[in-house]
Structure 1
Amino acid sequence: MSKKNQSFFRYENNLLILLFLIFGLVFMDRLSIIYLFPFVAEELNLNNTQMGMIVGATSIAWGISTLLFASVSDFIGKKKLTLIIFILGFSIATFTSGLVAGLGSLILVRLLMGITEGPVIPLVQSTMMAESTPKRRGSNLGLIQGSGALLGNALAPVIVVAIAAATNWRYSFFALAIPGIVLAVILMFYMKEPNFNIGQGTVHKKVKPTFQEYKSVFKTRNVWVSMLMSIFYMMYLLVFTSFMPLFLSGVSNYSEAQYGAILGIMGIGMFVWQFLLPFLSDRVGRKTIIVPATLIAILLPLSVAAFHTNFALLAISIFVLTIGFGAQPLYLAIIPSESVPRIFAATAIACVVLTGEIIGGTVGPVIAGILADKFSLYTPLWLASGTAVVFFLLSFLLKETAPVKVSSKISEDSGTSITV
């Protein structure tokens, strides 16, 4: 093997590939119910409000589980074991989703999925932060975050809708359960316990986290600003992605192939921008990217409402305007984790995810479902655009954390946090 190949196939890159697949699989499993809504609703006789309740139930469990188990993993230091257990757990929950018989059992299964998937996100992100070289933090985390868009938003609708149309929607969940088991086994033999110790070179200072340090995470400015942004971003994300398939199939009368193609284009756009914008933020700064991207996010739901009768124009506008999703890795993961001591990176990310899921991810889809039943399927689009205005305004409160912009050493070396 050449020296160049040895350089590429090092542990950091191999782990990046595995975590990319795991992160993407989480969103394939979680979002597949959204793409299958037209099939599921018809067979189980569910209305828009009940579909919103299903999405909200997952968010509640996801949020609580995220903070609880991410914090536990920070104190016990068993990231690898915790990650493997929860990957196997959400694979079982995915399989079980194909066995439900009604609204009650479906909500219970989605609660289980939220419990088991929630901790995977901060565990994956904090592990990659620990194993990344400083100049690649943004690009590595952006690539992993983008996998949720590529696999969850682009690939998943094509696969699950095709399986559902050819056989039955239940087989889509059965098929999605297999990759998680395979990836858990690979991690069991390949992944090393990530190093969160402070120090450089071959000698590291062992650090035992204290409860006082843990509490300081919640007092860090960038963490609580990101928490507020997360509330409105999760409302935006889940309302828009949950009701756009129903809007396209209902209002626009698009066929399964057409709305599947639109969802695929949106997923590809999200992947491209969620990699490109964090990559650029490593060079020009986090906040420089976040502010214009969140402004563009306001326009995406409006473009669907305006251009839904023209398939080509809708597809183009969706691909371009998904740049509004591109800054997501920055304020949901990268900035919070760069603002606290590295050993608490998972907790910082989990705090942001918790508030977003519990409040925004729960309330948003339910309100959107009620409005859709009472008025029309246009109203979730207006609601999504309105929430984007709020997290755009909140983005001005963030403090810069990119190493290229911050002269002092970041938390991985000094153990200090950015609080002002």
Structure 2
Amino acid sequence: MSTVKQLTPLHGRHHEWTLLLLLALAYGTTSFDRWLLPTLFPVMSADLGLDVGDLGNISAAFGIVFGVFALIAGTASDRWGRRRIMIPALLIFSACSALTGVFTGLIVIMAVRVILGMAEGAFVPALYSATVEASHPRRRGLNMGLLISAFPLFGLGIGPIIATQLLTVVPSWHWVFFLSAVPGLLFALLLAKRQKDVPNYPMQATDAGPKATAREAFQFSSLLRVLRRRNMAIAVASTILALAAMFVLGGLIPSYLTSVVGVSVTDMGLIASAIGFGGFAGQVALAGLSDLWGRRLMLVVEGIGAAVCLLFITQVGNSPAALFAILFGAAFFCFAILSLVGGPIVAEAAPRGFLGTSNGLVVGAGEIIGSGIAAALIGNFVASAGLATAPLIAALCVGAIALLGLLLIETAPRITERRRGSARSTVPSMSGETL
């Protein structure tokens, strides 16, 4: 019988699911706060005299510090524990979201959003590691999918609806930012009581070497040790490519729809909402399948699925229903890549004692290179080559992920146990029969 089935949760029968719920809601709250500024920017810009260029500068600064602090805090959480990183980060993040509604100058708002980016960058890798450590090995893919699905659902799906509706009942947009801090403060309090820094199940890392000491986990050279593993290098590259494709989906496709396809602004808003809802559906529907069918197969399928959908965007004309469906499909597969790579693939490839470092490296490199450098390069290229090239560029990015998936070493417990069982069954016994 599989040893994985016999694992007993250290922190009680319901700890895994109650903690997963709290972590997912906390992650959804940070996503809502992160995307609140772009959502309210049309209203804010009229009051503060800001333009789209200012929004771009604020977003770029946010992304860069997010990536840098993800690298630092992921490693720090290996040394000091997930709880000591997540709780202060969530408190600071919530406070900065509220402070965004206080100030009216560009420089001060940018400074507040930079601090907010530092806090979220510190929060996310510790959050991912805490989820993995709370999860049964056979549910790592499913649980990470459920967790990360909160990001598109709250930030890109429900969030804009809530924010714009609040504008109709509060005195001004300032109050929306004030109210956004309340859920984060509440979840910080609940997580402080619930989060344990001892894994709920034995991690059963694939690394056969000794567990890293706290001192080793905090050294910068640890990043090189992590990157030497094939699956970790593939995870980093896949995250960079996926976030570059998401920049096209979230940043360029709305303009593509109005300028190239010719849909109205009203229809564009409805069509673009498919990104949030499609991303949520993909991360929920596909995450658990990697536990059953393997990480390698699902990474290839998700890359191909996203590429096909992005290519079909150029073929469906200007029908809002058709465009919504195809954009839903692109986000469905593209967001699923992040939950697969950032969850079970990293968890099963990380050297012992380096889970936070590994998550920090994947998240940090993805934000700095994928959401920052690659996004800037893609934006400049599209500006000169034309918006019609945007879907093709995104399709090339996710298509490359499918190719990387072919190089992935399979680590899903169900698959590896099945293979070991098949190998044992073919070993001849002393009597000449098979076992």
Q: 1:29 to 1:247 in 2, by over 3 A?
A: farther
TM-score scaled by structure 1? 0.83
What does 1:84-163 align with in structure 2 at a 5 Å threshold?
Answer: 84-163=87-166
Q: Return 54-63 or 242-251, whichever deviates more.
A: 242-251
The alignment status of 1:70 with 2:80, answered yes or no, reads no
Residue 139 of structure 1 deviates from its aligned partner by 0.8
CA distance in 2, matches of 1:171, 1:368: 35
Where 1:327 maps in the other structure, the secondary structure is: helix
Shift of 1:20: 1.0
Deviates more, 1:306-315 or 1:401-410: 401-410
Unaligned residue ranges in structure 2 (runs of 5+): 1-10, 205-209, 421-435
Alignment of 1:283 with 2:292, yes or no, is: yes
The 3 A distance-change label for structure 1 pair 166 and 241 is farther
Contact 2:20 2:147 survives alignment (8 Å)? yes
Is 1:225 matched with 2:228?
no
- Tell me what 2:60 maps to: 56
Contact 2:137 2:203 in 1 (8 A): no
Identity across aligned pairs (percent)? 28
The yes-or-no answer on 1:237 pairing with 2:246 is yes
User: Could you tell me whether the CA contact under 8 Å between 1:34 and 1:241 is conserved in 2?
Assistant: no
Letter of the 2:330 counterpart: L
Q: 1:211 pairs with 216, 229, 247, which one? A: 216
C-alpha displacement of 1:389: 3.2
Report how many residues are paired: 397
User: How far apart in 2 are the matches of 1:85 and 1:73?
Assistant: 12
3-state DSSP of counterpart to 2:152:
helix
Rounded Cα–Cα distance in structure 1 between residues aligned with 2:316 and 2:102: 38
Inter-CA distance 375–175: structure 2 relative to 1 (3 Å threshold): farther
Q: Is the 8 A contact 1:56 1:362 kept in 2?
A: yes
Residue identity in the other structure for 2:17: N
1:19-418 counterparts in 2 under 5 A? 19-41=23-45, 43-44=47-48, 48-76=52-80, 78-164=81-167, 168-195=172-199, 208-209=213-214, 211=216, 214=222, 216-247=225-256, 252-255=263-266, 258-304=267-313, 307=316, 309-325=318-334, 326-370=336-380, 377-378=387-388, 380-407=390-417
Change beyond 3 A, Cα 1:218–1:369 = closer
How far apart in 2 are the matches of 1:284 and 1:147? 24
Inter-CA distance 9–164: structure 2 relative to 1 (3 Å threshold): farther
Structure 1 residues 68 and 300, CA gap change in structure 2 (3 angstroms)? same
For the structure 1 residues 239 and 29, does the alpha-carbon distance in structure 2 shift closer, same or farther, using more than 3 Å as the test?
Answer: farther
* Cα distance change, pair 348–131 in 1 and its aligned pair in 2 (3 A): same
Quote how far apart the aligned CAs of 1:399 are. Answer: 1.6
Looking at structure 2, the residues matched to 57 and 192 of structure 1 have their Cα atoms a distance apart, in angstroms, of 33
- Separation in 2, partners of 1:162, 1:366: 32
Letter in 2 for 1:262: I
Q: CA deviation at 1:306?
A: 5.0
Distance in 2 separating the partners of 1:51 and 1:239: 17
The structure-2 alpha-carbon separation of the partners of 1:243 and 1:9, relative to structure 1 and needing over 3 Å to count, comes to farther
Residue 210 of structure 1: how far off its partner (Å): 5.3
TM-score in terms of structure 2 length = 0.80
Question: Match of 1:278, as an amino acid?
Answer: A
Task: State the 1:94 CA deviation.
Answer: 1.3
Give the letter for the 2:263 counterpart. S
Structure-2 separation of matches of 1:279 and 1:27: 22
Q: 1:364 to 1:19 in 2, by over 3 A?
A: same
- Secondary structure at the residue paired with 2:368? helix
Q: Aligned-pair distance for 1:286?
A: 0.7
Q: CA deviation at 1:231?
A: 1.7
> In the alignment, is the contact (CA less than 8 A) between 1:269 and 1:322 conserved in 2?
yes
How large is the Cα RMSD of the aligned pairs? 3.3
Instruction: Name the residue aligned to 2:8.
Output: none
Instruction: Name which one, 1 or 2, has greater alpha-carbon Rg.
Output: 2
* Equivalent pair of 2:135/2:200 in contact (CA under 8 Å): no
